[in-house]
């Protein structure tokens, strides 16, 4: 018995009961299948710097509503941060803690700018040296422990006396806080609003307790000892957090040169950009060369003053060797928790992307791997 089956209009002797659709119908199926593959490849996953995880992606919240919600929360958190700043003003206005014989930490920053102009070789000298600016309060000042280019940021404050300069420095850093909130929102715009708000909450309010105070109360959820000590001491940890956030934002925006410059400036306190290295490696995939080059050039230009006579040796002795055992104080956790929050979001997205790629059908996996190599 002969069975004739048409395949693309031609008769073939095949197995009984086997038939093939016409060419036009097969073309339609191929188009449909190709569209299915495209949709599968575009299904929730992780692409370079955009997180698309089911529980992290938006559900029914429109972009305008989300933007208004985030703006409202940033304003509310900034007002609360202002309350903490004002609570520290009595200490700021004196320039010294009651009963203390040491100036606040800001005294080291202010004196570094003074020495940068009048006596650069003594930039890292501890205590008072000849020709120093006479601090109105306190008989001892802490040593300067940052990279030398940080002193250039302090130069404009020399136009003010010590106490007004301290207040101006804290106000300047306070004004950076809503900017950080905006940069975080823009960097995580495709993520669920709840995740954005939690990250902003951690960074702007710092509600997480710090060691060894691991207990937490309702009061701790809307106020911050970390920020209180930051403002009272005139510390620079908000400044450090700002450069970390700026590096993250520019990296996510695929602007590696600006990201590298921000990262280089964050190195005024090298502990935090070193700790943030895993985060920067995640968000700078595909642009490592330009990012690292901009970072190195920024550091080289900013710290060229170390070539000044004896300054490099003083930095090595008084900072690299003499400060290795320094403890982390309350304000130190501000940039630390900033890095932890951003790394957690990116790390979860990266792990989910690896898991989804491993569980995806082979054609999708090959396509994703090929796209990651571009």
Give pLDDT, residue 56: 54
Q: Which residue, chain included where needed, has tokens 């400036």? A: 265
Beta strands 46-47; 10-13: pairing state: unpaired
Smallest Cα–Cα separation from 271: which of 243, 306, 301, 305? Answer: 243
Give pLDDT, residue 200: 93
Distances in Å between the alpha carbon of 17 and those of 13, 127, 266?
11, 97, 73
Domain of residue 190: give its range: 61-351
Give the distance from CA 180 to its chain's centroid.
Answer: 9
Per DSSP, the residues of 232-276 read: HHT-SHHHHHHHHHHHHHHHHTT-HHHHHHHHHHHTTSTHHHHHT
**Share in percent of the chain as helix, strand, coil (round to 5):** 65, 5, 30
Give pLDDT, residue 226: 85
Let me know: does 339 contact 245? Beta carbons within 8 Å: no
Q: How many residues does the chain have?
A: 374
The whole-model pTM stands at 0.76
Question: 50 has which bridge partners?
Answer: 47
Determine, yes or no, domain membership for 293: yes
Determine, yes or no, domain membership for 367: no
129-180: per-residue pLDDT in tens?
666 666 665 555 667 888 889 999 999 999 998 889 999 999 999 999 999 9
Give pLDDT, residue 358: 74
Determine, yes or no, domain membership for 155: yes
Determine, yes or no, domain membership for 238: yes
Give pLDDT, residue 290: 95
Dihedral, 142, 148, 152, 154 alpha carbons, nearest 10: -10
In this prediction, the residues of the chain whose per-residue pLDDT falls under 70 are 1-61, 98-103, 127-142, 207-223, 317-327, 360, 362-374
Smallest Cα–Cα separation from 233: which of 113, 140, 103? Answer: 103
Tell me the HSE value of 8 on the side-chain side, using a 13 A CA sphere: 2
Residues 6+ apart with CB under 8 A from 361: 40
Domain count, the chain: 1
Smallest Cα–Cα separation from 115: which of 308, 264, 297, 270? Answer: 308
Give pLDDT, residue 347: 87
Determine, yes or no, domain membership for 40: no
Question: 13 has which bridge partners?
Answer: 4
Determine, yes or no, domain membership for 97: yes
Determine, yes or no, domain membership for 288: yes
Smallest Cα–Cα separation from 144: which of 94, 98, 103, 93? Answer: 103
Determine, yes or no, domain membership for 300: yes
By three-state DSSP, how is residue 285 classified?
Answer: coil
Give pLDDT, residue 108: 85
Per DSSP, the residues of 106-148 read: HHHHHHHHHHHHH-GGGTT--S--TT----SS-SB-PPP-S-T
70-119: per-residue pLDDT in tens?
899 999 989 988 988 998 888 888 777 765 656 678 888 988 888 888 88
């Amino acid at each position: 018995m002969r069975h004739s089956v048409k395949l693309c209009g031609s008769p073939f002797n095949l197995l009984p009961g086997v038939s093939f659709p016409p060419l036009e119908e097969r073309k339609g199926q191929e188009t449909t299948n190709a569209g299915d593959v495209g949709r599968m490849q575009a299904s929730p996953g992780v692409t370079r710097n955009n997180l698309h995880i089911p529980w992290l992606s938006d559900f029914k919240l429109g972009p305008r509503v989300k933007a208004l919600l985030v703006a409202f929360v940033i304003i509310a958190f900034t007002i609360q941060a202002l309350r903490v700043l004002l609570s520290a003003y009595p200490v700021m206005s004196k320039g010294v803690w009651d009963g203390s014989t040491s100036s606040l930490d800001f005294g080291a920053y202010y004196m570094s700018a003074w020495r940068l102009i009048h006596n650069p070789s003594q930039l890292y000298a501890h205590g008072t040296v000849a020709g120093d600016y006479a601090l109105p309060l306190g008989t001892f000042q802490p040593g300067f422990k940052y990279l030398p280019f940080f002193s250039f940021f302090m130069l404009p404050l020399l136009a003010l006396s010590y106490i007004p300069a301290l207040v101006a420095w804290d106000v300047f850093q306070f004004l950076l806080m809503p900017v950080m909130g905006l940069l975080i929102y823009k960097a995580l715009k495709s993520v669920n609003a709840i995740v954005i708000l939690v990250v902003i909450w951690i960074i702007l309010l710092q509600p997480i307790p710090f060691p060894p105070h691991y207990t937490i109360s309702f009061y701790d959820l809307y106020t911050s000892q970390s920020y209180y000590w930051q403002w009272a001491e005139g510390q620079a940890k908000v400044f450090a957090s700002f450069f970390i956030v700026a590096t993250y934002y520019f990296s996510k925006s695929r602007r590696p040169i600006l990201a590298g410059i921000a990262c280089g400036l964050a190195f005024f306190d090298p502990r935090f950009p070193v700790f943030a290295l895993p985060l920067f490696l995640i968000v700078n995939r595909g642009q490592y060369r330009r990012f690292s080059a901009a970072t190195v050039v920024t550091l080289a230009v900013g710290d060229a003053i170390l070539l000044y006579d004896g300054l490099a040796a003083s930095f090595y002795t008084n900072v690299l060797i003499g400060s290795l055992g320094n403890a982390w104080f309350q304000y130190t956790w501000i940039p630390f928790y900033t890095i932890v929050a951003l790394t957690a979001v990116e790390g979860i997205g990266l792990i989910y992307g690896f898991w989804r790629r491993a569980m995806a059908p082979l054609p999708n996996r090959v396509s994703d791997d090929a796209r990651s190599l571009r």
